[in-house]
Every structure is written in C-alpha cells, then in structure tokens.
Structure 1
Amino acid sequence: KYYYSLVLPDKALNLTLTEDIIEKGEKKGTKDVSLTSKAMYLNPVITSKVDEINGHKIGYLVYSEFDASFDQELFDAFKNFKKQNVTDLILDLRYNGGGHTLSANLLASCIAADASLGKTFTSLRFNKERMEKRNNKQEIDLFAYPNHYRNLDTPLTDGGLGLKRVYCLVSGNTASASELVINSLRGIDLEVILIGEKTRGKNVGMEYEDYAVEGYIYRIAPITFQSYNAKGFGDYENGFEPDAGLKIKETNPFNEEGKFYILKDYGTNEEPLYAKAIELITGKNPMKSATTRGAGKTLQGWELNAPALHRPGYDGMLKKYEE
C-alpha cells in the first residue's frame, strides 16, 4: 500500500513498518521499524582521479549524466586535473545518455581551453518555419571558455586543460549530449579517440518549456533541432564508430565464444576499456591478456538482446527554449 507513496512522493514521508523477529527459524514476535524519507540527488561525477604512469599524468573522469545542477562538481574535477598538470585525459561516457547542452559546453570547453576561443561549439538547425523566421541562419553557441560560465558565474580558466586529444570510452548507451561533446571537439580539430562500441546516434535535441496546470508543473520537451559542429558536420544519426583496433565489448573483450566477462571497477587495470586507453597513452597495456590471465575471469552465459540501459534523469540533448 506504500508503493506509490514511496516511488512518487509529494512530500517527506514518515512510515512505521512491522518486522517479524525470527529466531532459529521460528517467529518470536514483531518489532516496529521507523523509516523517514529523504531526497536523493545523484552526483553524475562518479569517479575522478589522476594517476602518474610512465611519465604521464593521466586524468580519468566517469561522468554519467549532463546534469547542470552538478556543474560545480564537474568543474571541480577539471580544476583538480589542471592543478595536478594532467597530460592526458580518459573521459568515460559509456553510460551517459545525455542531458543539458550547457554542461556539455562546460566539459568540452575545459578540455580544449585556448583551442576553443571564439569557436563554434554547436550550430542548431530548426524546422523550415523557424529557419525562415531566422532568415535561414542557424543558432550559434560558442565554446564557453574562458568567459564567465553563466551557470556558475565564474571564468573557466581554472579548469582549462588545453589538451590536443582525449580518449573517450563509449558504448551503445553513449548518446546525445555525449555525442555532442565528441562532435564539437572534432569540429575544432581536437583528436577524439573512441574506445568501446558504436555510440547510439542521436544528433537532435529538445527545447523545454515549463507549464503550470491546476497546481502542477509540467515540463514539455519536444525534439526541435539538429546539432552541427564548427565544420558543419551533423550527420551522426548512426552513431560514432571506434576504429577497428579499438572496438571492445566490455562484457567480452577477448571475443571468446560463449563467454561473459565479469565487469570490473572503474579505472582499474583489469577493466578492458580503461586498460586499452592506458596502452594508447603509455605503450603498455596493464591488463593481462586472454591467454595469460587466471582462470575464472569469465563465465559461461548467453547473449541477451536487452533494450538500451534505462536510468532516471536526463536523456537526450536538452536546452532551454529561448526564442
């Protein structure tokens, strides 16, 4: 009876549940357990670290969602990268289905820094009617660096890395605003090396508007634009494909028939996509090969044609309607 109150609460909840007391398999009585609900806000900056390997200062960032309410945490990660003088960056977007274009600009601007000065981050094309009203001029969004980033009211120089390339870990769940970052950086000739599986392919985005109806706020977010980079490229509806030698399936990195690889922790030497990025940077793969690794690293199993990962939060390429 508490299901909808717990899943869709309209206020903080205080519940008292009854729990059976079991001793040696027999019920000895009951006791009351009090529960108090609390709002949870998941920080999309899941992992951020710097390792020094073979003379390289390697930054590693796992970012799960372009959520503008956590832009400070994202910027703090880049400030730490700059403070520690990272020379290389591994950006893990495997499970990032998108979010706010504002945060995408923050991330891309911090990676490129001076190389992005005054350049187009994204150019938006709307439907025929809106484009005619705009005299067929696309809406241009410049890279935010180094100006005051409007969501934090601070310049981005403290987090500007100025890298020439970035190693991006991707999968079929990498979509929309994640692909926007990849395309926008390539648009200013920054090398984006993809490791993993082909991205989902979503080159269109949504503008949202909030409406109040009978005391409730509804957010409407129809797809209204297609995104292009500074070179005018925007036809990535089929996704971005890693180069042949960098196509790795994290659940079967050694392409062994009938095997299923146990997922490892982010940023460890036994995690295949991360290990491949380390190899590209340093020349040496820290992961054991398929023939030398110990027994029990894989499990017999079946391939499942499961739908794309669903998670709460933003999906897509989201921006505020401003016309």
Structure 2
Amino acid sequence: MVTGAAGFIGSALADHLLARGDSVIGIDNCNDYYDPALKHDRVARVQGGAESGGGDFQFHQLDFADMGALSAALDGEDFDAIVHLGAQAGVRYSLENPAAYVQSNLVGHVNMLEIARHRGVAHMVYASSSSVYGGNDKLPFAVEDRVDHPVSLYAATKRADELMSETYAHLYRIPLTGLRFFTVYGPWGRPDMALWIFTRKIFAGEPIPVFNKGEMWRDFTYIDDIIAGLVAALDNPPPDDGVQKAGGSVKPHRLYNIGNHRSEKLTRVIELLEKACGRPVEIDWQPMQKGDVTRTYADIDAIQRDLDYQPTTAIDEGVPRFVEWYREYHRV
C-alpha cells in the first residue's frame, strides 16, 4: 500500500513497483493544496502503466486521517508492506493552516501505524523530512544530530512522526523505516516548490522571488535517486532482537537521510534554469522567510552503508530534465 499515491514521490514509486510486478493499493485524498488536476494526471499515468503490463493497481481517493473511511476501503484487501508518503507538505503553508498539519501528519500517521500493527505488515516505510534539523549549524546533517529545535510546525509534526514510530517499534515490534527527504525535484514535481515556481515565472516573464538575498543552499535530490533509495529501504526491513525493554534492545526502527550529498547554492540552480528555459531571469530579492532555513546538506553515510544507496544525478543534468518535462506538460 502506498499513501500519497497521487503525489510527486508516491506516484513515481507506484510506477516503479508496478513495473517490477508488485501489486499496489494507492491511497490519496487529492486535496486542493495545489491543483488536483496534476494529481489526477499522475494517477492516470500510473494506471496507464499498470494496464500496459506489470502488477495490479487499485486507487482509493480518501483521507487516511479518517480511520473509518480508511478501514472500510481496506476491508478485504491484502498487503504485506506500507509506504506512507502522504502528508500535508510545505513549511510556509504550516504558518497559514496549522490544523491541516495536525490532522494529516499526526492523526494520519498514527492511523497508518495502527493499520500496520493490526494487519501485521512485514515493513512500513514512511516519509520524514530534512526540516527536522531546524537551524542546525553543523553540516552536513547526520541522523545522529539532535533534532529537538524545529523552526516550523511542519518540521515539528515530522519529528513527532519519528517519535511515535519509535514507540510503536518498541511496543509492537513493527519494522519501521523513516526517510528524511532532502528537496526532491524532477518531472511531475510539486507546483509549490521553488524549481516549479521559478520555471513558471520565467516562462511567464515574471520576476522570481529569491529569499535571504540568494544566500540559500539546498541538497537537491532527483526523483529517480529518491525512488532507488525508497525501494532499497522497502526491500530491507530493519532487524529486531525481539527484546522488549527501554534500553539496549535493537528496536526494528531505522532513520536515514536520503539526499544527494551536495549542497547547491540557489543562485546556481537559477543559472541552470535560465539556460534550460532559454529566457532571461529577473529576480525579486526577498528577506528570509519565517520557518525557513539557510542551508540543507545530507550526510548519507548510513543509507550508503546499509542499503548501498548511491545518488547519481547532479543538478546540471536534473534541472534541464525537469524543464523539458515542464515544457511538454504545459506546452510552452
């Protein structure tokens, strides 16, 4: 089962799993946080791929934070693993609509843990975020770093998901893996993210908003690399020593950074976009936004060691690929 199956990462994962012969149950409420038409187009793409060969795909449009609707839809369905990618995303939107984050990211996450518990699934992989590192000065961010100073509600909900998962792994021995994603981009991406916003404005001849006078760095991770890491995590549940005690036991819960291990300055990405779009860029310099951070940079030693994760796509290759897809999708 894949939640967020109409989303950017979820639809790409469903595509990959179906192509290798897995059957997938997709869950998504297709809300209007951004244009639902894009979400429905992603689902149609996944369904088209399933029909042309591979595994079976079933899609349920529902809110996984509604336990009654979720349980009813899953009644009689068999699944051996869960990839829980659905969530209310976005740092800045959490300042405007905190209730959406509580409902989706907290209530919804507990619902999925309960489904995993009562169905006895072999493994549940879930999406966390690099946002949990807050304003940490130590670079690159490592999973061993302290993450108790979130600077946005979104980050706080993602850290809470990790802590609740730790509890369920301890109490019920559910194999769980949390992935801290670092700025995922690529074809079929999200319209609320910088790369899409910049590209749309460049083609519209509008200035692009750049915060903190351009002194911003991000670990941009191409979607294909993310999917490779996700599938590797899914196929390798964490070990369990079977001992239920507060300390010393090997609980079946692991956390990994999943990024590109390169921190790119935002102005460098803008240069690549300008070249790929073939249009001049006008910049609207903006102050630092509340809840935002200056730099993200992933230490991926743990996921490399345990899962042989090796990202291969640099922004010089990935940014033009995104622009090429954007031109085709929007016919510009």
TM-score, normalising length: structure 2: 0.27
Q: Normalising by structure 1, what TM-score? A: 0.28
Q: When you count helix as a share of all residues, which structure comes out higher?
A: 2
Which has the larger Rg? 1
